[in-house]
Structure 1
Amino acid sequence: MKDDHLDAWLEAIPDVRDGLTRTERIILHVLNETQKELKGRNVPTVMLYGRVLEYVNISEEDLHLYLDRLGVKGDGR
């Protein structure tokens, strides 16, 4: 049986190699892949959110917090 508390605790620990958590790494990976798909154009947050949800269950508000922490800025749309 899976221990959700242990998973949450492990998720919160940054990786020693780069200081990113699993969720941060997923967000950056999905953002990069989507930018490639869009040929370098900005990725709408709602599109990013939908794709990130395929990997990790987070709220839209949490995604914005992660993006702010990672220094990812939108164009105001």
Structure 2
Amino acid sequence: MPRDFRDTLPDVRDGLTRPERILLHTLHRLQQERGDRSVPSALLYGHVVEHLDIGPDEFQELLTRIVGRRVP
């Protein structure tokens, strides 16, 4: 259950929710810092939780929703 109802409302500009936007912004920043190399999800999670109060399961659901496919 989201902690704030605004976290579930998609932005009218692009349809992203606040947590999705934070995840994508953080991923972009980390890729730039790493020289456009892949960012391990554990590293991404560590940086995302600085901005969002989510657990590993919620993070994985968010990441899956952004990527659009399930990881076995």
TM-score (norm 2): 0.85
**Large movers: runs of 4+ above 4 Å:** none
Residues 59 and 31 of structure 1: CA distance in aligned 2, closer, same or farther (over 3 Å): same
Cα deviation digits, residues 17-60 of structure 1 (max 9, x gap): 11001110000000000001011111011110110011111111
In structure 1, which of residues 14, 19, 28 is the aligned counterpart of residue 24 of structure 2?
28
Of structures 1 and 2, the larger Rg is shown by 1
Aligned length: 69
In structure 2, which of residues 44, 51, 55 is the aligned counterpart of residue 48 of structure 1?
44
**For structure 2, which runs of at least 5 residues remain unmatched after alignment?**
none
8 A Cα contact 2:45 2:59, kept in partner: yes
TM-score (norm 1): 0.80
Q: Measure the CA separation in 2 of the matches of 1:68 and 1:26.
A: 15
Percent of aligned pairs sharing the same letter: 41
